[in-house]
Amino acid sequence: MSVPPKTEYSLSSMVGGCKLGIPSWQRRLYEQYFGFSLSVCLRYTASREEALEMVNDGFVRVFRGMAHFQEPEDQEHLSKVFMSWLKKIMIHTSINHYQSAKRKAERVDTGPGELQAAATGNMADHMAYLDLVKLIQQLSPAYRATFSLFAIEGFSHEEIAQTLGISVGTSKSNLMKARKNLREMLEQLNE
């Protein structure tokens, strides 16, 4: 099925089509926001393959929950509100993923090799971010999630504690250790 260029369709149309569960509109939304979603999931997962799987799991939740997505009255803010909603879903999907003990058994092979090859070619100009993401991916899951939520998403420690199911003190401790590890890794890169 050939899909017209994404610029021909407004976000409002895509959201409306997805609320009706129409696959062609779901495809347009998926393809338009795939990259954004991947960039979010990369900082909460240990590998690109894992991030791609989180993107797909996140989009399942997006399409299932689309009926509950409330569009703002002012359509100018629709993009901002939708991206915020989408980012939240991707973050929660990624965090739930590493918290789930069953995730490895349930992993589905989505053909990461093919996806990765194509994605790498498109992202050749953005190595700075990807290099930094690789550093984040070397952190432990708890440190990685805490640092990303605090430093990049702007969560407070209270919100991080509630999201990850940890105490505020643990959140602060994780953030401190994550920063320490990242500094060490950055120094090694500079040497």
The residues of the shown chain that bind other proteins, judged by CB under 8 A, are 21, 23, 26-27, 30-31, 34-39, 43, 56-57, 59-61, 63-65, 68-70, 81, 84-85, 88-89, 92, 108, 110-111, 114-115, 117-119, 122-123, 125-126, 128-129, 132, 136, 147, 150-152, 159, 163, 179, 182-183, 186
Distance in Å, CB of 35 to other proteins, minimum: 3
In angstroms, give the least distance from the CB of 30 to other proteins: 5
To which residue do tokens 């918290």 refer? 99
Instruction: Look up tokens 């929950």; give the residue.
Output: 65
Q: Is 170 exposed, middle or buried (0-12, 13-18, 19+ CB in 10 A)?
A: middle
State which residue, 27 or 103, has the beta carbon closest to other proteins: 27
Which residues are CB-contacts of 179 (< 8 A; sequence separation ≥ 6)? 147
CB of 149 to other proteins, least distance (A): 11
What are the DSSP calls for 75-98, one per residue?
Answer: GGGHHHHHHHHHHHHHHHHHHHHH
Is 122 or 188 the residue whose CB approaches other proteins more closely? 122
- Is the CB of residue 171 less than 8 Å from the CB of residue 140? no
Least Å distance between CB 190 and other proteins?
10
Spatial separation of the C-alpha atoms in residues 136 and 153, rounded to whole Å: 14
Task: Select 89 or 145, whichever has its Cβ closest to other proteins.
Answer: 89
